[in-house]
Amino acid sequence: MIGYRHYIGIPRGWICRFAALLACWVCLWFGALLSTAQAKQNTLIITGSDTLGGVVTAWTRAFQASHPDVAVEIQAAGSAAAPTALAEGTANIGMMSRPMSDGELARFVARRGHLPTAVALGRDALVIIVAKDNPLSAIDRTTVDRIWSSTRYCSGGTPIDNWAQVPGITPADPVIGEPIEAVSRTSISGSYGFFKERALCDGDLAPHVAQLQGFAAVVDMVASKATAIGYAGLGFVDERVKALSWLQPPLPPIVVSYATADAWDQYPLARTVMFYLATAPDTKPGPLECRFLSFIQQPVSQQILRDHGFIPLESPMTQGAAADGCR
């Protein structure tokens, strides 16, 4: 028997079609990669402080109106998120309501080999707040320490957990005898760290203090309860709550408002809010960072800063080479 082999032939037309489809798929794949890379190059990622989230969002809207080619992502997770994101290269700009700590700077240098660039934006102040119908009008650091702190490094006194113990509250006041509901920000917040340092002498927060994610939540809770007391950035204070004057003898009571900003040098809870960049202080920032930094120096941007409750600096961006490098 004569054997035979059976050949399965593939028509040449099919081969051509397959090759054409493969070539198209490869082109689309490379095109998608290039498009993704280009989009990444034109995306500015700003991470950090919830306190700065509102003004940076407003800046972004105005910036994109004249720079439609730039996408901006804002991640207001708290100041503590900024140093890590900058060090790891997952953010272009870090928003912080406090300076980086020594530990954060050391970890950044260990990762990047140089210090970050600090960019001062404006001034802000934390204020102690109570509900509008709470009779208290002023408070001192000793009382703040005894209400919020478990360690009481500032006062050395006993805890204050009832409104009857608060100086300035009288027997006729409606909150007399009521327990105090103290409110704070969460530990990831730069405002939390700043408050602990300046108001509690670096002491620990008492376990009964409620910790909330943002200042809006703090204001909402304090406004809803006459027995609550909290702290917030001045720009978050609305008509539902009142900011307490600060007692610091022998100085007269400090009324914290925008009209009294000249006296903030005497107020321990005044602070400078800032951006941090991953570039070294003697290095020009990247092109996207430069475009955004240049924009926020313009008069319209400084007015946005005022509208969100911050006091613009006379010479913004005087720290490091960020300003000079972008001009």
Task: Encode pLDDT of 126-176 as tens digits.
Answer: 999 999 999 999 999 999 999 999 999 999 989 999 999 999 999 999 999
Q: Residue type at 30?
A: F
Which tens digit of pLDDT belongs to each residue from 101-134?
999 999 999 999 999 999 999 999 999 999 999 9
Tokens coding 198: 């300046």
DSSP of 137-192, one letter per residue? -EEEHHHHHHHHBSS-TTT------BGGGSTT--TTSTTTTPBPEEEEE-TTSHHH
Q: What is the pTM of this model?
A: 0.79
Pairwise CA distance, residues 62 & 60, whole Å: 5
Residue type for 145, please?
D
Using pLDDT thresholds of 50, 70 and 90, give the confidence band for residue 264: confident
Cis peptide before 250 (omega within 30 of 0): yes
Size of the chain, expressed as the number of residues it contains: 327
pLDDT tens digits, 169-210: 999 999 999 999 999 999 989 999 999 999 999 999 999 999
CB 267 within 8 A of CB 127: no
Q: In one letter, which amino acid is 45? A: I
Q: What is the pLDDT of residue 17?
A: 59
Handedness of CA 237, 255, 200, 311 (dihedral sign): positive
Mean pLDDT score, 34-57: 77
Averaged pLDDT of the chain: 87
**The tokens 């300003």 sit on which residue?**
323
Task: Give the model's confidence band at 265: pLDDT under 50 very low, under 70 low, under 90 confident, else very high.
Answer: confident
Helix (H) / strand (E) containing 241: strand 241-243
Can you say how many angstroms the Cα of residue 167 is from the centroid of all Cα atoms in its chain?
A: 33
The pLDDT of residue 6 is above 50:
no
pLDDT band at 230 (very low <50, low <70, confident <90, very high): very high
Q: Which of 138, 145, 130 is nearest to 251 (CA)?
A: 138
Domains in the chain, CATH or no CATH each = 40-122+273-326 (3.40.190.10), 124-270 (3.40.190.10)
Judge whether residue 4 has pLDDT over 50.
Answer: no
